[in-house]
Structure 1
Amino acid sequence: MGGSAVGGDAYVPRDVAVAKRLVVVLTAVATAVSVLFAVLVPSSQSFELTLVSLAGPVLVLGLATVISVSPEPAGWVWLAYPMTATVSIAVSDFASADASVTGQLFFLFPILFAGSQLRRRPAVLLTVAACACEVLVTFSLLPARSAAVDAGYVCASLAATAGILAYGAERADRLIEQLQEQAAVDSLTGLYTRRILDSAAATSLHSAGSDGGTALIIIDIDRFKQINDEHGHLAGDIVLQRIADLLRDNSRRTDLVSRMGGDELAVLLPGCTLPDAVERAEELLRRVRALRIDVAAVSMCRTADGSSLRVTASLGLAHLPTHATDVHDLYRAADLSLYAAKRGGRDQLATPLTAPV
């Protein structure tokens, strides 16, 4: 995921929960090491410089606390934390006149966080800032030749670390996106899966665009097992694909067409009144009846006209709030209507109002 979100979201980590734990771990390690060596190797710097050196870590601890206790930290906080840590390390090096490798190694801590958790833009900003601080520290405290060597090695290490971590994180993002897409879309028909249908149905109940109510049409291909038995599963797949295309081509942009499983398909119609839903379901029924599906290339036997297969479908329709009060009841009402249509002779539409008792 090379691109970043717009506004404050550009700085929100890939995984907030993991980022919070990483903030706690890095801050705890840095604090523990600093306290330990402050005790073992007391600083000879003045009281004023000591206060200056402590100001940065205190601010970093404050930001880490905000991140760890806030349910949803603001986007800028996620970048402010590693940036403040980077500047704090540079200030501490200046205050202690320490340009040693041990002091410079701490620049890796913010890089570890940014490279693994932040997106490309903030990670690049942080890497540039860390390298700039490294150059300022070394060229201010060391001879030019030594400073150039140290800064070159450290900056190369920082950039490589950030790049490797960012590459791995972006690759993981792409894999996750592919898995999510596979879980969201049925590979045979290209329709959304039942999981997406459930989510869309729940969302539509609270949507401002669903004033007319929400309708659900469940479509079952009549005698689909017989099609598979007589013409083969490849022919059955073609039938499913053609009907899926028909449903998709005759749906609004706001509708959601799904394969619920097997030969059962569904169309969710948010913002649709019951009369409109019935009219659209009847139109779908007529279009399925008129469909001629060429299965000659894969069929195990010849059809009556030698090339095309005629299919019909049974449709069950339910409307919320007319027939149900929640998503579960909507599914149940549509499913009962479908079975009523099948019991009534197939190739027809049934609703809870028309279904026999």
Structure 2
Amino acid sequence: MAAQYGLRTRDASGVVTLDTTVTPIRSLKMMTVTGNGAFDQYFSIPEIKAGSFVVVDTLIDRGENTYSPAAWYSAGSLQLRQPGVETWQVMILSHGAESAGGAETYGIRTRNNNILTQIDSVNRALTVRYSGQFQFGQQAGTIILWADINFPAPITTYERPLIFLNAADYMMVGNFAVKGSPGNWTGFRLKAWPFSAHGSAWAQFMTIKWFCSSYDAGAVATGAYGARVRDANGGLLFSTTMNITNLLSQPASNSFVQAGPSLTAGNWYAPSQQMSWTGSYDDYVLANALFSCTNIVQTTQPIRANFGGFLPGNRGILQMYVDNGSGINPLTANGRTLFAARPMRPL
């Protein structure tokens, strides 16, 4: 057996709560960039490594018209399309030692063969804060068009929390928005889209499971067993009592392709886009950028909804559509940053 290096903790009943020899924890670094009004704007970001995940998100709640820019990234570089002059949230998620903090960084770093873990005041651990389930859609002529979810208590980070969605089977959703503002994120909204190319599947309620992740550590019960990481000021960065968000796979950021039947009705048109998915019903998809709208500034229909999800009985495909009421200037889902994840421990 190979030598095992790292950290292992248990709870009061002896159940392992963290084992860095088997759980690769991706660290999370938050930063912001500001648009200069260019159609395409490029940012030099050395923290983006070859194995990083990058998600670009908004800091503004615009209700159902909340939008994020199309984004592409490669090692050291980020491209935003039509970022305007707003400030955007950039989340860089990396394998442990890929993005190290400075000499003043407080935290832990472990290496076990090829499994890296880093949790410190610069590279945060993404953990599950809240979770739940709801139903919406259409059944027997009754339509529930919107889901409006409130967190038990606000999340107080400057950056928006990350919302991950799954479904018992079929899912067709869009117009996603996190409610609130920096320092006071209170919940999220989501629309059930009645249009798809899959017929009778829409005649059933969609059962949606969700969890919310953040680097906001929240409260830890007094007397809890395990390990805690604090910053230089004594602020809690991480506790092994938390449920880590495992970031499992990152589809290529431009891997949507034109596939499947597009949707048409008069002048209305929504091109069909697909990418390969994980094949597992246990994997959740990040909603923040994928299911929010896109803003195409120069057109007469600037706000375009991205909607999609999972096809009936099929987790090998992630299906997306882009709403285009004019029937011209159709968009694709390319450049939507996303990834698959699941909680380390059952919810």
TM-score normalized by the length of structure 2 = 0.20
TM-score normalized by the length of structure 1 = 0.19
State the structure with more CA Rg: 1
The structure with the greater share of residues assigned to helix is 1
